Amino acid sequence: MSGRGDDRSLTVKVKKKRGVKASSRRWLERQLNDPYVRRAKADGYRSRAAYKLIEMDDRYKLLKPGLRIVDLGAAPGGWCQVAVERTGSSGDDIRVVGIDYLVVEPVPGATILELDFLDDTAPARLLETLGGDPDIVLSDLAAPTTGHRQTDHLRTMHLCEVAADFALRTLKPGGHFLAKTFQGGTERDLLNLLKQNFVSVHHVKPPASREGSVELYLLAKSFKGKRLPAAASESDDETAGSQV
C-alpha cells in the first residue's frame, strides 16, 4: 500500500486521563495510528474493512461489472461501496443489496435493508430487493462481543454457517461465497459441504486484516449449482453483526 512508510512515522499518543480505561486508550491509539483507517478517511470509505475486500478482490477477481451482490452484515457500508464501484451498480440498476440490523447511511448505487439477517423474512426480502439470484454472497458478519472469547468465537462461527446456508440456497451456478471466519475455527462439516458444492475453497488473510487478529476469510469459488431446498434459514435469538 502506497504511503505506509509515511503513515508509520506519524505516531499519535493518547494522554492518560482519569476515568478512561487503559484498554480504551490503547484502542484509540491503534485507530489513530492505523494506516488503513487514515486511508479510508482519505478515500471516502466508511471503514478500513473496505480494503480487506479490495485486496481479496484484486487477488481473486470476484467482483465484475453487471454481477448481482448480496452483502450480509453491511454496516457501516464499506463493502457495499466497493461492490458498487466494481459492479457498476447504480440507482437505475441496483446490483448490490446489503442487510444489517444497524442503521446504515445510504450508499449510492446500493440498497441496504435495516433487518437482522437471522430474521425468517430476510432471505426472501434480499432476493426480492436484488431482483434475482446473487452471483456473489459476501459476509463480514460478526456477533456482538460478550467478553468471553470462546463464546464470541462460537457465535461468529454460527453466523458463517448461516451465511453459507443462504449462499447454497440462492447462488447462481458459477457464483462465489466469501465470509468471515476465524483461524482454526471453521467446522469440518462446513468445509466439507463447501468443497462438495464449489470448485475450490480457500482460506484468505488479506493484508488489511490487523496483525495479531485471528480473523480470516473463507472463499468458496465457482458454485456447482446443486442448491439446497429453497427455504429460509432458521433464526435464533442472536443478532447478526457488522463490519469492523
Q: Is 147 annotated as a binding residue?
A: no
DSSP 161-210: HHHHHHHHHHPPTT-EEEEEEETTTS-HHHHHHHHHHEEEEEEE--TTSP
Query: What is the b/e burial string over 26-58, where b = at least 16 CB atoms within 10 angstroms of the residue's CB?
Result: eeeeeeebebbbbbbeeeebbbbbbbbbbbbbe
Closest CA to 101 of 90, 85, 111, 112: 112
Q: What is the DSSP letter of 94?
A: -
Q: Is 184 annotated as a binding residue?
A: no
Q: Which of 21, 180, 195, 221 is catalytic?
A: 180
Q: Which residues contact 208 (CB under 8 A, 6 or more apart)?
A: 36, 48, 49, 51, 52, 54, 55
- What is the rounded CA–CA span in Å between residue 145 and residue 214? 14
Q: Is 77 annotated as a binding residue?
A: yes
Q: Where are the alpha helices (DSSP H) in 4-77?
A: 4-9, 22-33, 35-43, 49-60
Q: Which three cell numbers stand for residue 234?
A: 432458521
Q: Is 120 annotated as a binding residue?
A: no
Task: Compute, in degrees rounded to 10, the torsion defined by CA atoms 181, 183, 186, 192.
Answer: 110
| Residue 180 appears among annotated catalytic residues | yes
Q: Is 71 annotated as a binding residue?
A: no
Binding positions are 77, 79, 100, 116, 140
Binding positions for S-adenosyl-L-methionine are 77, 79, 100, 116, 140
Q: Residues with catalytic annotation?
A: 180
